[in-house]
Amino acid sequence: MIKVVHYINQFYGGIGGEEKADVKPEVREGVVGPGMALKAALGKDAEIVATIICGDSYFNENLEEATAEILQMIKKYEPNLFIAGPAFNAGRYGVACGSICKAVKDNLGIPVVSGMYVENPGVDMFRKDLHIASTANAATGMRQAIPAMSKLGLKLAKGEGIGSPAEEGYIPRGVRKNVFREERGSKRAVNMLVAKLKGEAFVTEYAMPDFDRVAPNKPVLDMKNAKIALVTSGGIVPKHNPDRIESSSASKYGKYDIEGVMDLTEETYETAHGGYDPVYANLDADRVLPVDVLREFEKEGVIGKLHRYFYTTVGNGTSVANAKKFASTFAKELVQDGVQAVILTST
Amino acid sequence: MVKEIERAGIPVVHICTVVPISLTVGANRIVPAIAIPHPLGNPAVSKEDEKELRREIVLKAIKALETEVDGQTVFDK
């Protein structure tokens, strides 16, 4: 019998939403939430002996302690397999799943599996360390995610060979494997080229890695006379969210005039973000977008000027393509407006 | 977003709570924040102390913008 420990967040654990994202890890015997479907998919050969539940914010704000605590909880059950998630496109959840999987693999030496949407930040952080089943971006993909994760997990636990990412449905780990092919490389390359010229579909045998790094710009030399702009992914908007920026998967950003605004108050600003507990930001949005402090620094001569507009969007399940598009658009305006540096805040 | 701003030629500092995510995304100047729902505040302390805390973090961010870096740098001191 393969003993399995399953990790889920506070939401799937039925403890609560964002208002409970700060709960500490706890362990429950047997299955909880998506563990039911996982149990069914694993079948007779495996048993979920325990489920660990932890709040996403607690985990991410206390990465090391939380990992250590959870590792202790898992150890007690002497599992043969550890499964975390699926986290879909939930960033903090993905980071939690990946961090614990890696810690379990490194410390307990047992196979681990998670499931995430390819844009989850947990993927880039952990794809090389573990098998992450490729899932949809939202929980509507649960029915596909669970069998994919369970199949991978069982294979790993039984020591069976794992096929290619495309065959097995996991996210490529950057591992290259020697295989024999019918046709030699030169012929396959020419076939691909011919297919490309004809406009037909073909699959590359070695996808080029996407190294999208931007070198840091020169520092600001004369801060006392510099114009600084504020940007946030924390969803701070004027009260009642006039442009209706979505609480998740944002399709737009906002640009708001803060000329003469000295302080963001409960009456004037709020957050549109649906991915964290909004209570604190709604009471005082300076906790996310520090307009009050920058006004003080402006007055004290620490900086030259706070730019007249701030730019904001909701960084909650928002696609990388959208975020890129928003920022490349408003960055042009910032350049035109003579902004010399940007402070970007994220929740 | 940090990368697109940097790409446009403007130095940018990322104030965020989950530093590993910022590193993965590719921010160059990173200043750690307090907590996810209140990166630049702490409702558990007095208004005055909270403001002071926010001043310290923003000041750290300003210092980061004044500092020459040649790769990803976390300003946690």
pLDDT digits (tens, 9 = 90+) for A153-195: 999 999 998 998 989 999 999 888 888 899 999 999 999 999 9
Which residue in chain A is spatially nearest to B3 when comparing CA positions?
A214
Which regions in chain B score pLDDT beneath 50? none
Q: A323 CB near a chain B CB, below 8 Å?
A: yes
Encoded tokens for A208: 């080029």
Give the largest Cα separation in chain B, rounded: 39
pLDDT category at A341 given cuts 50, 70, 90 is very high
Domains defined for chain A, CATH in brackets? 2-168 (3.40.50.280), 223-345 (no CATH)
Q: A294 CB near a chain B CB, below 8 Å?
A: yes
ipTM for the assembly: 0.97
> How many residue pairs bridge chain A and chain B with CB atoms within 8 Å of each other?
197
CA distance A14 to chain B (A): 20
Give the per-residue pLDDT at A231. 98
pLDDT category at A206 given cuts 50, 70, 90 is confident
Q: CA–CA separation, A268 vs A286, rounded Å? A: 11
Coarse DSSP helix, strand, coil percentages of chain B, rounded to the nearest 5 percent: 40, 15, 45
CA distance A75 to chain B (A): 25
Residue B58 half-sphere exposure toward CB, CA atoms < 13 A:
29
Q: Do A324 and B4 touch (CB under 8 A)?
A: yes
Mean pLDDT of chain A: 95
pLDDT digits (tens, 9 = 90+) for A300-328: 999 999 999 999 999 998 888 899 999 99
Among A151, A119, A232, smallest CA distance to B38 is for A232
Give the closest of B28, B36, B65 to A341, CB-based: B65
Contacts of B62 in chain A (CB under 8 A): 223, 228, 297, 302-303, 343
Give the closest of A91, A290, A297 to B21, CB-based: A91
Strands A254-257 and A309-312: antiparallel
10 Å CB burial of residue B53 (0-12, 13-18, 19+) is middle
Contacts of A284 in chain B (CB under 8 A): 41
pLDDT digits (tens, 9 = 90+) for A65-92: 999 999 999 999 999 999 999 999 999 9
Give the largest Cα separation in chain A, rounded: 73
pLDDT digits (tens, 9 = 90+) for A260-283: 999 999 999 999 999 999 999 999
Q: A281 CB near a chain B CB, below 8 Å?
A: yes
Q: A277 CB near a chain B CB, below 8 Å?
A: yes
Give the per-residue pLDDT at A204. 85
Give the per-residue pLDDT at B77. 73
Mean pLDDT of chain B: 95
User: Per-residue pLDDT for A209 more than 70?
Assistant: no
Q: CA–CA separation, B14 vs A295, rounded Å? A: 19
In chain B, domain spans? 2-74
CA distance A289 to chain B (A): 8
